[in-house]
Amino acid sequence: MSHDPNCIFCKIVAGQIPSKKAYEDEHLLAFHDIHPWAPVHVLIIPKQHIATHAELGTEHAELAGRMLLLAPRLMKELGVGNGFRTVINTGPDGGQEVYHLHMHVMGGPRPWLKG
């Protein structure tokens, strides 16, 4: 499994940086965002270092599927029952800030709606 020693999310996977975990298995880690945009805001990341969504290949199909299937399960477990939002920012024009593939999963009242 690849790992980037300079990547903050790889350091979280390795336990070098603490996180409030919501889920963990051999492939994925989900943890609560430290700057949430919604009452429930978790990040789902692969433990394998993949820099962006654009770098996913057919060899990652099962991993990507695991990420997508985990989102509704986590929202249900975390008490979100009225829908949620998933976002994957990709590259500089897509607003990606941390270059380790991650999916934001946000539930609860929608603060991104302004009016």
From 41, 49, 102, 104, the catalytic residue: 102
Cβ neighbours of residue 33 closer than 8 Å, sequence gap 6 or more: 41, 42, 43, 104
User: In 3D, which of 101, 89, 99 has the Cα closest to residue 47?
Assistant: 101
102 is catalytic: yes
Rounded Cα gap, residues 74 and 2, in angstroms: 26
Which residues are designated catalytic? 102
